[in-house]
Chain A
Amino acid sequence: MINRNQLLTLLIVFAIIGTAPFLITRESTLNTVILILYVALLGQAWNILGGYGGQFSFGHAAFFGTGAYSVAVLQLQYGINPWIGLFIGGLLAMGVALFIGFASFRYGLRGSYFALVTLAFAEVLRILSNSVSFTGGGVGILIPLSRDPANMQFANNVGYFWLIWALCLACFLTVWWLGRSRFGAWLQAVRDNEDAARALGVDVFATKMKAAALSGFFSGLAGVFYAQFYLYLDPAIAYGSAVSIESLLVPIIGGMGTLFGPLIGAAVTHLLAETTRHFVGDVPGIALAIYGLLLILVVMFLPRGLISIFGRIGGLFGSRRAADA
């Protein structure tokens, strides 16, 4: 019952977001909405493995960067259309996730150790992409401009809006499914108590691997979107720590292991950054410093994220059942 309501809420929320291109005429405002959706996708991808699976990755850039580089390199070197590159990018990112997952989960890496090993893998990929020639090395890679929807390049922001809207919706629907499926229940059981889950017959390794695959796939799609939107990549953008940090920041601030947490986190962090920029001016550092502060405050005072505030407000208006249960 709750899940059906959740699906309805999800569809309504996305329908409302879908009115943005009709209501918003200013290019820069629509841009903000696009970036919020893009960050929500990054965060939701992390949320699958980190929030639902309890495996804290500090290196999601490994998947993001692989998706981004795939679509760019396939276009430039092999002339493969980015719409096909989108899926190849996602699948290659999934492959990287499976590789890292296989290496780590096989040896039972947990908690902080898993965080460190993912971070190291992203660093290795950054160093490699800096040194090999087909990624353009340190100079980076520039996707030639050809504004045609057939090339996944759009004349204005509206096209990009629908692209990221659709990718985001696909990811959120997947996570909605995760919340009600047997697999999702296994995954959350592994998160809450791995040994108990194993004792009950859950295949812990396979469950974690599947979560890593899904998480890597959507993170790769976010990378593809980034490449097509900005048409430029270099090793620090693709595999640098900024993407890894943004991926985990957003769902943690919004609410880990919840369907809407990443969306709330993306909107709050982005609007906060925009507001600061409005008052302080475009100075380097301030926006990120605020993200850091927000992260500490949330971990200290709202361990279940900003979304738990909504729960509390909801509790004030009527049904006490949630509090009693």
Chain B
Amino acid sequence: MVDPVILIPSLINGLTTGALYALVALGLTLIYGVLHIINFAHGALLMLALFGVFFLNQIFGIDPYWALLIVPPAMFVIGYGLQRGIIGKASHGRDENILLVTLGLSIIIENMSLYFFRSDTRTVDTPYSFEVVEFAGAFLPLPKVIAFFGALITAGLLWAFMSKTDLGRAIRALAKERKGARLVGINVDHVFAMSFGIGIGCLGVAACLLMPSYYVNPQVGYGFVLIAFTTVVLGGMGSFVGAMIGGLIIGVVEAMGGLFLGDSLGQFGIFAIFILILLFRPTGLLGHKA
């Protein structure tokens, strides 16, 4: 049996990583829940946001946490534009088409980044990058602790937004019943694009919280996209609480996989869960019957 002195820190570490996975997955699950789109470009857009945070820091000296005021709104605008200008137009009412268009977008975004930024891995230096917090015997990097609570706060805000505001109600109405929503005067195209924009805006938040403890290169999104899919499928497509719980579970599974199977097999557990859930319970732990 593994010594609890190793096990508990590894568990807590997994939870903090998991909160970030959850944050990335929140946007994906929102987009899926409303538009029934599996956004394949999610990872690529996260990568774009990470580069945004990086360059704001390099060129203007803006701290990644102050970038929270700039990057998420910018990502929102990009998301709104993509949905209205490209994805909505190309769907022709078929799921597979959307998957292909968002795949095309991710190919373009990733390879243009490769062209402009080259494949170098970049990190941001902040005064607090190497500060640690001690908790229950675990020494956690301060940025990861901030990211953990940031993810929880973002999820809370998103939940409040969805349940208390008119737009949130419109989004939920659209998710449940498209025709009905249109009949009561909801501007469907606009609300679709708003949901997509908000989902992508979440990626902006995730990028700001992630950057101080992580890195960016043009390929960084691909790893996240699969994890985000797993999280969303595990939690139940379209469920916020599910995405949060799913993210935490995935984080812990990855940490445990790394601990017991070694680093190269660490992610094996994630995909094993993914396949099993897809096969046996595609509606996820908390999802509704499709």
What is the CA–CA distance of A283 and B114 in the complex, to the nearest angstrom? 9
Cβ of A292 under 8 Å from chain B: yes
Cβ of B119 under 8 Å from chain A: yes
What is the CA–CA distance of A112 and B279 in the complex, to the nearest angstrom? 13
Q: Which of B66-74, B243-251, B264-272 is the contact stretch?
A: B264-272
Residue in A closest to B267 when the chains form the complex, CB atoms: A127
Within 8 A of B (CB), among A272-288: 283-286, 288
The interface residues of chain B lying within 8 Å CB-to-CB of A323 are none
Contact B265 A295 (CB under 8 A): no
Main secondary structure of the interface of B (DSSP, over half): helix
Contact B115 A119 (CB under 8 A): no
Choose from B115, B264, B267, B268 the contact partner of A138 (Cβ within 8 Å). Answer: B264
Query: Could you list some 12 contacts between A and B, CB below 8 A?
Result: A109-B278, A116-B38, A120-B226, A284-B119, A285-B112, A285-B218, A288-B107, A292-B111, A293-B104, A295-B107, A299-B100, A300-B86
Cβ of B108 under 8 Å from chain A: yes
Cβ of A113 under 8 Å from chain B: yes
Cβ of A142 under 8 Å from chain B: no
Cβ of B282 under 8 Å from chain A: yes
Contact B112 A111 (CB under 8 A): no
Main secondary structure of the interface of A (DSSP, over half): helix
Contact string against A for B residues 6-32, beta-carbon threshold 8 Å, 1 for contact and 0 otherwise: 000000000000000000000000000
Chain B positions within 8 Å of A, measured between CB atoms, are 38, 86, 89-90, 92, 95-97, 99-101, 103-108, 110-115, 118-119, 218, 222, 226, 229-230, 233, 262, 264-265, 267-268, 271-272, 274-275, 278-280, 282
Known: A113-B278, A241-B222, A299-B101. A56 touches B96 (CB 8 A): yes
Contact string against B for A residues 285-314, beta-carbon threshold 8 Å, 1 for contact and 0 otherwise: 110110111011001100100000000000
Residue in A closest to B91 when the chains form the complex, CB atoms: A299
Contact string against B for A residues 226-269, beta-carbon threshold 8 Å, 1 for contact and 0 otherwise: 00000000000000010001001000100000000000000000
What is the CA–CA distance of A289 and B111 in the complex, to the nearest angstrom? 5
Query: Interface centre among A131, A283, A285, by most B CB within 10 Å?
Result: A285
The interface residues of chain A lying within 8 Å CB-to-CB of B282 are 107, 109, 113
Contact B278 A289 (CB under 8 A): no
CB distance from B83 to the nearest CB of A (A): 14
Contact A117 B226 (CB under 8 A): no
The interface residues of chain B lying within 8 Å CB-to-CB of A138 are 264
Choose from B108, B111, B264, B279 the contact partner of A104 (Cβ within 8 Å). Answer: B279
The interface residues of chain A lying within 8 Å CB-to-CB of B106 are 292
Choose from A117, A131, A245, A303 the contact partner of B275 (Cβ within 8 Å). Answer: A117
Contact A119 B226 (CB under 8 A): yes
What is the CA–CA distance of A284 and B86 in the complex, to the nearest angstrom? 25
Choose from B92, B107, B262, B280 the contact partner of A289 (Cβ within 8 Å). Answer: B107
The interface residues of chain B lying within 8 Å CB-to-CB of A109 are 278-279, 282
The interface residues of chain A lying within 8 Å CB-to-CB of B107 are 245, 288-289, 291-292, 295
